[in-house]
Every structure is written in structure tokens, then in C-alpha cells.
A and B are shown apart, each in its own frame.
Chain A
Amino acid sequence: EVQLVESGGGLVHFGGSLRLSCAASGLTFSAYWMTWVRQSPGGGLEWVANIHHDGNEKYYVDSVRGRFTISRDNAKNSLYLQMNSLSAEDTAVYYCARARRDPGDPSPNYIDSWGQGTLVTVSS
């Protein structure tokens, strides 16, 4: 069974930084694209970033590009999200998730496993 466990969330002041971690088990971590998705309180889902198996391809939503960095350590079965210059709009539950691509697809398409999420609250 795939397990994704996020950590590192908490309360941070406006303009501050936070690093989220995600520990993966029950899967060959190095074989999969991974993704971060966030959900604001009472709100909908927003894709944040994707990272290729080997970490050499990374994609971001415009609102976080230049402030957030997705990375991974395949030797440690871990995914990370470094978040800088945080603002109130970044307040959300952040989910670590596995992005799947079916055979023949060059890119991931859907998300088949999600962590339980970690809450990030940015206060002014």
C-alpha cells in the first residue's frame, strides 16, 4: 500500500519560509512523477508543482514560480517543497501526491495516491 506522509507545516509570518517534506513508502519512489497540490481553507484544489522521476524536470503554477522549489531525494524516498516569501494566499493544506502516466504518455496525467496533507498558515 502506498503511503505518503507530509510534515513541516505550521504557522509562519508573512514573508517567511517553510520547507515541507513527504516520506513515501510502499512504492518504487524513483519510478514516479510526484506532485504537490494545495487546498485553501474551505476552498478547492490547486495544483502547485510537478517533478520528474529523476528530479531534472520541474513545473510550477505561475503564482509560486520563483518562490517555491520542488525537489526530491530518491535515496531517501522523499519529496520536498521549499516555500519562500510566503503570503496569506499561500495558506492551505498541502498534499504530497503521486502523479501517474499510462504507458505511452510522455507526461503524468492523473493523481492516484495522496498524503493526508499538512497545514501551512501564513499570518500577517
Chain B
Amino acid sequence: EIVLTQSPDFQSVTPKEKVTITCRASQSIGSSLHWYQQKPDQSPKVLIKYASQSISGVPLRFSGSGSGTDFTLTINSLEAEDAATYYCHQSSSLPWTFGQGTKVEIK
């Protein structure tokens, strides 16, 4: 099983600040890494697919990068509505696994 480790677990950020969340895989997964946002009491929503590909309708301030074992989700100019927990997900091999989540709080 591929283990995904996110850092940090929690981040308190001021609006308009830049946020960087990392996801490290226990073995190489190519670009089979996807990012989701889950707001309180809501279902998750996909933000980025295949490490860096954008999703239609997702604000352009969300971007992803990386390949192999190290990946990054960047939120440029954080907005209040971005308060949520963010998860990475690998589909390189079964079982699919998720990172433990990174909670982003707005100061």
C-alpha cells in the first residue's frame, strides 16, 4: 500500500497570503496524484488532477506541481472561502489511498 503523508497537518493563514501544502508518497507514483478540497459538512471536491492539471470551474489560484514522490498544492492569494481541509489522493496502484488531510484556517 502506498502511504501519502501531507504537511503540515494544520495551517492558519491570513487572507491574500500564499499557501503551500505538500504530499509525499512512500514510493514513486508518477503523476497519479490528485487534490481535493472538503469544506465543513460538505463532500470533497476535486481541485487538481494528475498532479498539475486544472479542473474546469476551479479558481486559477489553485495549482499543483510535482511528480514521482513529492507533490505540492499551492493556493495563491488565499480567500476566506478557501477555509477547508485539503487531501491528496493517489491512483497509481490499488488500494487507492489518501493523505491524512491538511486543515487550512483563516486568521
Q: For residue A95, which residues in chain B have a CB less than 8 angstroms away from its CB?
A: 43-44
Chain B positions 75-94 with a Cβ under 8 Å from a chain A Cβ: 87, 89, 91, 94
Cβ of B43 and Cβ of A114 under 8 Å apart? Answer: yes
List chain A residues, Cβ under 8 A from B87.
44-45
Q: Which residues of A contact B100 (CB under 8 A)?
A: 44
Return the chain A residue nearest B96 by Cβ: A47
Asked whether any CB of chain B lies closer than 8 Å to the CB of A85, the reply is no
For chain B, the count of residues having a C-beta within 8 Å of the partner chain is: 22
Residues in B neighbouring A59, C-beta threshold 8 A: 94-95
- Select from chain B the residue with minimum beta-carbon distance to A35: B96
Q: Would you call A54 an interface residue if the criterion is a C-beta within 8 Å of the partner chain's C-beta atoms?
A: no
CA distance A116 to B42 in the complex (A): 7
The tally of CB-CB contacts under 8 A between chains A and B is 53
Q: Give Cα A112 to B91, complex, Å.
A: 13
**By the criterion CB–CB under 8 Å, are A109 and B43 in contact?**
no
The answer to whether B43 touches A110, judged by C-beta atoms less than 8 angstroms apart, is: no
CB distance from B36 to the nearest CB of A (A): 8
Judging by beta carbons under 8 Å apart, are A47 and B97 in contact? yes
Instruction: Please classify the interface of chain B as helix (H, G, I), strand (E, B), loop, or mixed, using the class held by over half of its residues.
Output: loop
A32 to B13, CA, bound (A): 38
Enumerate chain B residues within 8 angstroms of A114, measured Cβ to Cβ: 43-45
Complex-state Cα separation, A116 to B43, whole angstroms: 6
Q: What residues of A have a CB within 8 angstroms of the CB of B101 in the complex?
A: 44-45
Residue of A nearest to B34 (CB): A110
Q: How far is the CA of A102 from the CA of B55 in the complex (A)?
A: 13
* A111 interface hit (Cβ, 8 Å): yes
Instruction: Specify which of A44, A102, A108, A112 is in contact with B98 (CB 8 Å cutoff).
Output: A44
- Report whether A47 and B95 are in contact in the complex, using a CB–CB cutoff of 8 Å: yes
Chain A residue at minimum C-beta to C-beta distance from B46: A112
Known: A115-B43, A117-B43. A61 touches B95 (CB 8 A): yes
B44 neighbours in A (Cβ, 8 Å): 45, 95, 111, 114
Ranked nearest first, the 9 interchain pairs of A and B with the lowest CB-CB distance are A47-B96, A114-B43, A109-B91, A110-B34, A45-B98, A61-B95, A110-B49, A44-B101, A44-B100
Q: Which A positions have Cβ atoms within 8 angstroms of B?
A: 44-47, 50, 59, 61-62, 95, 100, 102, 107-112, 114-117
